[in-house]
A and B are shown apart, each in its own frame.
Chain A
């Protein structure tokens, strides 16, 4: 069972975010593995374990100056990482990203492709399904659980009303929510082993792509960034046994009580 997990290295979400002059998200600081991707990595490792053979490859796009995030996935147990890194990729949109990921994945199609439902920085949330369409594969999004049964995958998929049990033949693209598994912490042994695991760095040209990426491929642009109508912070009190009283008074003032 070979599984590709698409992962993204993102700026620390706890740090303040900003745009650069081209209205791209500033990614000049330290990058980390998107926490949303750790669930897919863990799920993949468990599925490979259950299958009793195969391996997990993480595939990414972005700057390869800092691959600590990919090393983190390798330390968890992934066998290798591939990252497409190229100045020409700056400003690539979701569809362009899907084309790049598809370019890597179709070189050696795995049995299953796992992605997060959306990244924690851009949260467009369409790349995995675009990827599935480009690869001509079925997709199941918003998985709460994933199991492989023979040559098909079975997923509990979130719905507005609850969840659906959904199945699709392999190979398939599945997006996982954070509820799917509890990601492991990398062990010391894992961290040491990750140092010698392969990280393949590819360019856009290596994939035979060109104008599909970057701002030219994006075919949409930001025209303005304006301050949103902001809410002002109101009163803030440290609870000294009177917190509930203050809430009741507030609810009375807005006539909810």
Chain B
């Protein structure tokens, strides 16, 4: 048996599909000729052209969710689709806040297992997933052993998004149905944290800071270095959690995945959670006081030193070059 049918959950972001959604559609169409997508929001139908272009034949539209968090309604709609249309071989879901909610809800609703942190997807007579483990030093391959559909949650940038030139997907309504109290979490207000310069995921240079900076005010060193290199400023989870910088700066397992030309890690020891998000960078430079910090194991250039001395000197050197 090979992969006959795949469904992909595609997330709407500002009237378009998220990049990770497009990556999943691209990979799905390379594994199966029968790809359907599921989306939601006030203008689901408006996404049919893009969903079709990247490989979906059908776009199931859950519709506007009002202020509800998407997890429960979208999972409920997919469960109803499985009941009415039959199960696909697998359901692919992007790793994101809402994606993880949808996956968890759907898994429990369908009583089907979920595989997360997937970075590769193969067809070996059925879907086989790849997962980085132990800080990315090893890769685990896994597959589902029971009845489908298995639920697969895929990390950003695992695949390249490429248009397949397909015609618009045909849109079908997929209502959420009655959610009871599971659907009662509602958004009161949304706060957007602005940032300037290139986007973290798209920058060719990323300069990131961690606990080694010592205190929040020192993050300015990261921002200034990034600016001089026309790059983006990133951060480890530790300093985001500590409230030094907004979440939108976070690189790692629960943050952004980046693959710049060069990644400069400053005062970041290299926890697994961080490395997973940046080890795909073409070049890695690390500055850390601890000569045994794990980050040095993957750094092309390692400077054992104090970021408070090395970064100001680097900033001066970059300024001197104009």
Q: A-side interface residues toward B, CB under 8 Å?
A: 13, 16-18, 23, 93-95, 98, 117-118, 120, 123-134, 136-142, 144, 154, 157-169, 172, 177-179, 218-228, 230-231, 233-239, 241, 243-248, 250-251, 254, 256-257
> B27-35, B45-53, B293-301: which one contacts chain A?
B293-301
Residues of B contacting A226 in the complex (Cβ-Cβ under 8 angstroms): 138-139, 141
Secondary structure of the B contact surface, majority rule: mixed
Check if A163 sits within 8 Å of B305, measured CB to CB.
no
Across the interface, B284 reaches (CB within 8 A) one of A118, A154, A165, A231, namely A231
Shortest 3 CB-CB contacts between residues of A and residues of B: A239-B305, A129-B104, A219-B146
Residues of A contacting B223 in the complex (Cβ-Cβ under 8 angstroms): none
Query: Would you list 28 pairs from A and B whose C-beta atoms are within 8 A, ordered by A residue?
Result: A13-B272, A95-B113, A117-B254, A129-B104, A130-B104, A132-B104, A133-B108, A139-B182, A139-B185, A157-B97, A159-B190, A160-B13, A164-B188, A165-B190, A166-B185, A167-B188, A169-B181, A178-B241, A219-B146, A225-B141, A231-B300, A236-B291, A239-B304, A243-B287, A243-B313, A244-B313, A247-B285, A254-B282
Q: B-side interface residues toward A, CB under 8 Å?
A: 13, 69, 71-72, 75, 96-97, 100-101, 103-105, 107-109, 111-117, 128, 132-134, 136-147, 150, 153, 180-193, 204-205, 229, 237-238, 240-243, 246-248, 253-254, 261-262, 264, 272-273, 279, 282-285, 287, 291, 296-306, 309-311, 313-314, 316-318, 321
Residues of A contacting B128 in the complex (Cβ-Cβ under 8 angstroms): 223
Across the interface, B181 reaches (CB within 8 A) one of A16, A138, A159, A245, namely A138
Query: How close is A110's CB to chain B, nearest CB, in angstroms?
Result: 15
Check if A256 sits within 8 Å of B108, measured CB to CB.
no
Check if B144 sits within 8 Å of A256, measured CB to CB.
no
Residue of A nearest to B131 (CB): A222
Alpha-carbon gap, A83 to B115, bound state (A): 25
Across the interface, B139 reaches (CB within 8 A) one of A127, A228, A246, namely A228
Residues of B contacting A138 in the complex (Cβ-Cβ under 8 angstroms): 72, 181-185
Q: Other CB < 8 Å A-B pairs besides A125-B117, A241-B309, A256-B205, 8 of them?
A: A131-B108, A138-B72, A169-B181, A222-B142, A236-B301, A244-B314, A248-B314, A248-B318
Residues of B contacting A225 in the complex (Cβ-Cβ under 8 angstroms): 133, 138-141
Residues of A contacting B309 in the complex (Cβ-Cβ under 8 angstroms): 239, 241, 243
Residues of B contacting A142 in the complex (Cβ-Cβ under 8 angstroms): 97
Check if B69 sits within 8 Å of A140, measured CB to CB.
yes
